[in-house]
Amino acid sequence: MSDHFVRPDVQAFLDMMKANPRPPMSDELVAYMRSLPPGAIPSLDLPVGELAVIRDLTMPGPGGDIPLRLFDAKAERAPGPVVVYYHGGGFAAGSIDSHAAVCADITRAINLPVVSVEYRLAPENPWPAAPDDAEAAARWVAENGAALGIEPTALVLAGDSAGGNLAAVTAIALRDAPAALPVLFQFLIYPVTDSQTLHPSRRTFADGFFLSSNDMAYFDRAYASDVSHWRSSPARADLAELPPAMVVTAGLDPLRDEGREYARLLEAAGVPTKLLEADGTIHGFFNYRLHIPSARDDFSEALELANSMLLEAGGM
């Protein structure tokens, strides 16, 4: 790791995790983690804090009811865009609970309601269950503002890691078959975009930077997707006429290079795109702000840039 710049607080976090290793990801570990009550696993992120609205509801999905959670910094608001958020976790882990602080701080930072989606997870529900649920949720939110207690005028599709993949895939799906509301913006946080290609960063940061090659191999096996299909690897799609996008990458992330490449492909397709790379930090830093204080500044910078792009898109 000495060949790469690592922030001091990131190094301290990596040292802490190395001193307290968890077992490698497996079906058994995933099942155990899901069996624990919320809060049983200590959070690495900041507290959710007080918010005007935090409300759970469900929607009908293609494989059964999909839980949703609405986060809103305002108890009442005028009509406007709504953020549909897809959590990360390798398509097999993560939840509305694990990403609650991120969603709460997004609504605080950009002053839009956020609907977090509890899509089906592998290995019980392999691909394409997750993109099916992600697309269904976006369409449902576009049509059911009254059930949410808001008046949405457009969608912002957002997510991190696996969720960034789902946001990108859903944006493509809704371009090809529009929802009841337009997609205004894509906010893609260290997304999985091309599982067919072994980009150099997947080798460079395969081990020692928290997201290990063994864990990534497990997630790939559990998800069992057709990596050549755009609903698994959105970089394989025609990207023309997609909504403006912001892509966030981390300098020490195995997914860094495919995030960079996806931003390049979007720009080449004529999509207004901005790439923000957080140097010297690791995959998942949005969720590690309690132990990586510099990630709080990265989070703020990313949301400020997203805000400015939303203004340019006419959504604020």
187 within domain boundaries: yes
Examine the pLDDT at 264 and tell me if it is beyond 90.
yes
> Tell me, what's the pLDDT at 30?
95
167 within domain boundaries: yes
65 within domain boundaries: yes
Active site residue 161: yes
pLDDT tens digits for range 103-151: 999 999 999 999 999 999 999 999 999 999 999 999 999 999 999 999 9
216 within domain boundaries: yes
The candidate with the shortest Cα–Cα distance to 297, out of 316, 314, 279, is 279
For helices 129-143 and 162-176, angle between their N-to-C axes, nearest 10 degrees = 60
> Tell me, what's the pLDDT at 315?
63
* Rounded Cα distance, 126 and 26, in Å: 15
State the chain's mean pLDDT as an integer: 96
* Rounded Cα distance, 190 and 68, in Å: 23
Examine the pLDDT at 2 and tell me if it is beyond 70.
no
Instruction: Tell me the mean pLDDT in the region 8-15.
Output: 98
* Rounded Cα distance, 301 and 252, in Å: 18
Instruction: Tell me the mean pLDDT in the region 23-29.
Output: 95
28 within domain boundaries: yes
Distances 146 to 74, 108, 263 between C-alpha atoms, Å: 16, 22, 35
**CATH code, domain with 159:** 3.40.50.1820
Active-site residue identified among 43, 98, 161, 195: 161
The candidate with the shortest Cα–Cα distance to 221, out of 298, 144, 118, 127, is 127
> Tell me, what's the pLDDT at 126?
98
Please name the amino acid found at residue 97.
D
Instruction: Tell me the mean pLDDT in the region 147-170.
Output: 98
> Tell me, what's the pLDDT at 235?
98
Spatial neighbors of 273 by CB under 8 A, at least 6 apart, are 244, 245, 246, 247, 263, 266, 267
1 within domain boundaries: no
pLDDT tens digits for range 32-72: 998 988 888 889 999 999 999 999 999 999 999 999 999 99
> Tell me, what's the pLDDT at 1?
45
> Tell me, what's the pLDDT at 316?
61
Instruction: Tell me the mean pLDDT in the region 207-219.
Output: 95
Instruction: Calculate what percentage of the chain has a pLDDT beyond 90.
Output: 95
Task: Please state the domain count of the chain.
Answer: 1
Look up residue 188 and give its two tokens: 């893609």
170 within domain boundaries: yes
147, 306 contact by CB (below 8 A): no
Spatial neighbors of 237 by CB under 8 A, at least 6 apart, are 172, 230
Examine the pLDDT at 278 and tell me if it is beyond 80.
yes
> Tell me, what's the pLDDT at 220?
97
131 within domain boundaries: yes
Query: Could you tell me the residue range of the domain that residue 183 belongs to?
Result: 8-312
